Amino acid sequence: MSSFLPIFPKLLILLNYVFIIIVLFGKKSPSKTISWLLVLYFMPTLGFILYLFFGIDWRKKRIISRISESKYLNEEGNKTTTYRENLLLKGHIEANAKKELINIAATATKLPLYENNSIQVFSNTNTIFQSMINDIENATHHIHLEFYIINNDSTGQILRDALLKVASKNVSIKIIVDVIGSRKSLKSNFFKVLKKHPNINLAAFRPVWIPLVNLKANYRNHRKLIIIDGTIGYLGGMNVGDEYLGKNKRFGYWRDTAIRITGESVNNIQLVFFQDWYFVKKIRLSRNPFYFPDFSNTCFGTSLTHIVPSSPHSNWDTIAQLYFESIASARTSLYITTPYFIPDEALLMALKTAALGGCDVKLLVPGRPDHILTFLATTSFFEEVLASGVQVFTYDPHRFVHSKVITVDNMVASIGSANVDQRSMNINFEITAFIYDKKVVATINEHFMNDLKHSRQIYLSDLQQRSIFIKTAESVARLFSPIL
């Protein structure tokens, strides 16, 4: 070991030069390329660690093979065009007005648009969680869960106990948790009792084999979804843990958004779970009627809904492209809630252009950080979006807003797990629902306006009062923003 130490600095410099060459030929965006070059050159030790963890693009090479996302999703592809055309012909005002969004989602995901849905929007995390537990306890055939974080605390234990209770009634349960997000629970005894039950299967998403040199820190499963008996689905931004129910003193009241879907679109959430289950277990689940019920004889509602997954092994950055089109197509109103606002150049330009064009653009972000670097990167964008006419609001600093919601022109809304940042757009596994239903959108906008009552509007004059230290910190964080 002692003989290795003298050559370590030279080895580090050599590896950094190799990384610099990889960056130059990596065909990333210019902003990402410049950021990595600066970090690697001026901060070689830190740059080496950061690039090893977050910079190397393994997604279409060895670690993430091209799994059969298309195997499951392309089977629905022949339905996509038929469903889209038929539904548009039925006279949906929202669908006709935003048909470009539908075309992008249908083409990129190969998933059909469904109309026979009822959607309930939740804005209170305790209500969300209680509804989930009630539906879980009433399951009769299967429960599929997928979360970035399930904590080993009182909230996590309530979920675990409910799963054990229903598993004893011969209900089949499959759970996917992310290794990074749920690492503390996975290291504890929390999941051991679940693993022992014959009706429960647990899968860890992309295990980290070398914790100290984590080459898999990127490409995490950030999805949050539940499917119950193939007829009820949940998705949104909330994980499972005490802090998400407002029980953590650091964050206080936790504001999040989720939806409960009953009807045909649950089929597409199920397909996404099937894809992820194959990814982690290499087991293909059978497409039987228990997983994919026949909805043709039951009317649930008329909420036109497109379930949109996005992942690093897809051909398209689907959610990023849909966010871009949503913003670019906005004419009268654009309301965005996100805990992390770190847009790329295209999204930023679209947002500023919408505001300059006279659209009522409102952006709501947290008023306090959960991660200081991402918070500073977020606030670094305030000045230029304000100058274009975007209205910026920061949530009550004694609360925390974690919703990932966009509404456009009172016609369409997206709710899911994806933040407005480059990690959600390009790197992580995400899922969101695009909903074309004026009544649902009106409910979401009502929640948004209520959130603004607990928020502070930011003006350019406020930013001028920032200290040199804060401005410098924001500039440094902004430099890192393409790789956060």
In whole angstroms, give the CA distance from residue 214 to residue 53: 6
β-pairing, 333-337 vs 360-365, is parallel
CA distances to 148, 163, 259, 309, 404 from 235, in Å: 12, 18, 6, 11, 11
Domains of the chain: 5-55 (no CATH), 69-87+116-301 (3.30.870.10), 318-483 (3.30.870.10)
Q: Evaluate whether 406 touches 413 at the Cβ level (below 8 Å).
A: yes
- Return the closest-CA partner of residue 414 out of 259, 275, 220: 259
Q: Quick one: 449 exposed, middle or buried, by C-beta within 10 A (0-12, 13-18, 19+)?
A: exposed
CA distances to 25, 179, 262, 344, 426 from 29, in Å: 11, 29, 40, 9, 12
What number of other Cβ atoms are within 10 A of residue 14's Cβ?
11
* Res 20: pLDDT: 65
Phi, psi of 254 (to 5 degrees): -105, 120
Give the three-state DSSP class for 362. Answer: strand
Residue partners of 302: CB distance under 8 A and separation at least 6? 115, 116, 117, 437
DSSP bridge pairs for 308: 432
Residue matched to tokens 């952006």 = 363
Residues involved in catalysis: 222, 224, 229, 402, 404, 409
* Res 474: pLDDT: 85
Tens of pLDDT, residue by residue over 38-74, are 666 666 666 666 666 666 554 444 444 444 444 555 5
* Res 95: pLDDT: 74
In whole angstroms, give the CA distance from residue 39 to residue 52: 12
Residue partners of 311: CB distance under 8 A and separation at least 6? 69, 428, 429, 430
In whole angstroms, give the CA distance from residue 277 to residue 144: 10
* Res 66: pLDDT: 45
Q: What is the pTM of this model?
A: 0.86
- Return the closest-CA partner of residue 202 out of 222, 179, 225: 179
In whole angstroms, give the CA distance from residue 115 to residue 93: 13
Distance, CA of 11 to chain centre: 38
* Res 12: pLDDT: 63
* Res 96: pLDDT: 78
Question: For residue 450, what are its two tokens?
Answer: 């209520």
- Return the closest-CA partner of residue 306 out of 468, 432, 438, 180: 432
Output the 3-class SS for 49-72: HHHHHHHCCCCCCCCCCCCCHHHH
Ranges of the chain whose pLDDT falls below 50: 1, 4, 58-70, 210-216
- Return the closest-CA partner of residue 117 out of 448, 442, 436: 436
DSSP H helices, 25-182, are: 30-42, 44-50, 69-73, 77-89, 93-97, 99-109, 125-137, 154-167
Q: Evaluate whether 182 touches 148 at the Cβ level (below 8 Å).
A: yes
Give the containing element (helix H, strand E) for 270: helix 266-281
Give the three-state DSSP class for 157. Answer: helix
DSSP bridge pairs for 305: 114, 435
Give the three-state DSSP class for 129. Answer: helix
Tens of pLDDT, residue by residue over 215-249, are 446 788 999 999 999 999 999 999 999 999 999 88
CA distances to 66, 107, 110, 321 from 315, in Å: 10, 11, 12, 12
* Res 4: pLDDT: 47
In whole angstroms, give the CA distance from residue 156 to residue 248: 14
* Res 479: pLDDT: 77
* Res 481: pLDDT: 72
CA distances to 11, 378, 421, 438 from 332, in Å: 57, 25, 24, 14
- Return the closest-CA partner of residue 360 out of 384, 326, 332, 337: 332
